[in-house]
Structure 1
Amino acid sequence: MDDLFKPADDTASRPLAPGAVHMPGFAAPLEPALLAHIERIARAAPFRHLATPGGGRMSVGMTNCGDVGWYSDAAGYRYVETDPSTDRPWPKMPVMFLDLAVSAAEAAGYASFAPQGCLINRYEPGARMGLHQDRDENRVDAPVVSVSIGAKAIFSFGGPNRSDPCQRVLLMGGDVVVWGGPSRLYFHGVGAPRSPGFGDGVRYNLTFRACG
């Protein structure tokens, strides 16, 4: 088990499934600048623990930037153009975010990716994301681009059914995972962050999507 948490000794892209690829260290040089952007976004649209339709509370803190933001409450999962907490538009997506998402998608074989929103997740110690599909977008023909920042964590990537076996992939700060095409609706999840990381083991995740 412990050998899962050793840093990768290379930065070669690694296929996870048809249409899915893990790119170790792809965004590593940008981590400090990405974190600075996250902090500015969070001052305008603070992280919050959203309610689920079933009445639970997500352990992961969330905010958004871009034209739309992902949101959840008793009414369901959906994208909204304004922050329900302030009734103001979500903060503008930084150019660095957009350039990173487009270049990562292109490197993974997806040209002309045009994300409309970026969901920013904050994983404090103990926070995790269970297996789920990214299926709230109208554009499931476009890939998902996921960027890890800060503490390391295990990413589980399964198949089209929740019961399918999962691969367990160590994600370090600066790693990028892109999935689309045949694997666009595969189940996936993230375990609790492992130190070291920003702020005593905090992990951030940027998830870029074309929403509709």
Structure 2
Amino acid sequence: MSPQLAFAQDSACGPLANAYGPFDYRTEKGNSLHLVESAHFTPVVEALIKGNAGYLGGDLDYTLRAFPNHHRALLAVMRYGEKTKSPKPNDLRYSVECYFTRALQFRPDDTTARLLYASYLGKNSREAEALQQLERTNALAKDNPFTHYNIGLVYFDLKQYDKALAQAHIADDLGFTQTGLRDQLKAAGKWKDAPPRSAARAEAPASAAAPAASAPLPQ
């Protein structure tokens, strides 16, 4: 049993050991993901219209036990809690928050899962905890412009405009071209152009510069 699975045995949110999986949503894009999504995470399930193999909550639970860090399923389960106005809808095995806890126990380095958790915390008036998650995500982001951009979006939702602006500048500096965060900051009257780079940084040899993100952006 892996260290992650052993650690989760003592969790109040249940063990990660599962009859099918658990699989990493970021890397397992083959038959295992297809089997789970085609039976349990269909478009009607994702849209929270109805279950496919059984109850809606049962299908979400199955998906997130097989793929604890399934990003779209984590978003769906968060929306399900909002829709039912309950921290634990009746047909879910665990509370909504438990699914985030399980995802991060399974893959602590998953920045998208951590950002979704930060968003969940912010929506539930737990700003201090949300900011802690964002700080950890920022430490993991390295030179990934997509992650910095999304960190900025969550900071913006939390009205942490200076931090959102800093993340927007980092994403821009790393070559990210989407302007949604910049547009939101401008609309809120919080946008400022990035200060000029220091002379030392501008004159640094190319070998000393931070490498550009080379990995493809998450889908």
TM-score normalized with structure 2 length: 0.25
- Which structure is higher in RCO with an 8 Å CA cutoff and minimum separation 6? 1
More strand by share: 1
More helix by share: 2
TM-score normalized with structure 1 length: 0.26
